[in-house]
Amino acid sequence: MTRIVAGSARGRRLTVPPRGTRPTSERAREALFSSLEHLGVVEDCAVLDLFAGSGALGLEAASRGASRVVLVDMARSAINVLKKNVAQVRDDVQDVTVVQQRAGQFLTRASGDEDESERFDLVFIDPPYDFSDHSIANILAALADNWLHLDAVVVVERGAKAAEPQWPPEWEPRKPRKYGDARLWIARAG
pLDDT tens-digit readout, 8-66: 999 999 989 876 667 777 888 899 999 999 998 999 999 999 999 999 999 999 999 99
- Please report the pLDDT score of residue 22 as a whole number: 72
Rounded CA-CA distance 152/189 in Å is 5
> Which residues, in sequence order, are CB contacts of 34 under 8 Å at separation 6+?
none
- Please report the pLDDT score of residue 111 as a whole number: 54
**In the predicted structure, residue 141 carries a pLDDT above the cut 70:** yes
**In the predicted structure, residue 138 carries a pLDDT above the cut 70:** yes
Amino acid identity at 78: A
Domains and CATH numbers, the chain: 2-162 (3.40.50.150)
Pairing of the two strands 46-50 and 120-125: parallel
- Please report the pLDDT score of residue 147 as a whole number: 93
Pairing of the two strands 148-159 and 177-179: unpaired
Percent of the chain with pLDDT over 70: 94
Give the number of other CB atoms < 10 A from CB of residue 57. Answer: 29
80-128, pLDDT tens digit by residue? 999 999 999 988 887 999 999 999 999 987 554 455 668 999 999 999 8
For residue 95, give the 3-state DSSP assignment. strand
For residue 120, give the 3-state DSSP assignment. strand
The band of 77, judged by pLDDT with boundaries at 50, 70 and 90, is very high
For residue 144, give the 3-state DSSP assignment. helix
For residues 148 and 120, the answer to whether their CB atoms sit within 8 Å is yes
For residues 4 and 81, the answer to whether their CB atoms sit within 8 Å is no
- Please report the pLDDT score of residue 26 as a whole number: 83
- Please report the pLDDT score of residue 115 as a whole number: 58
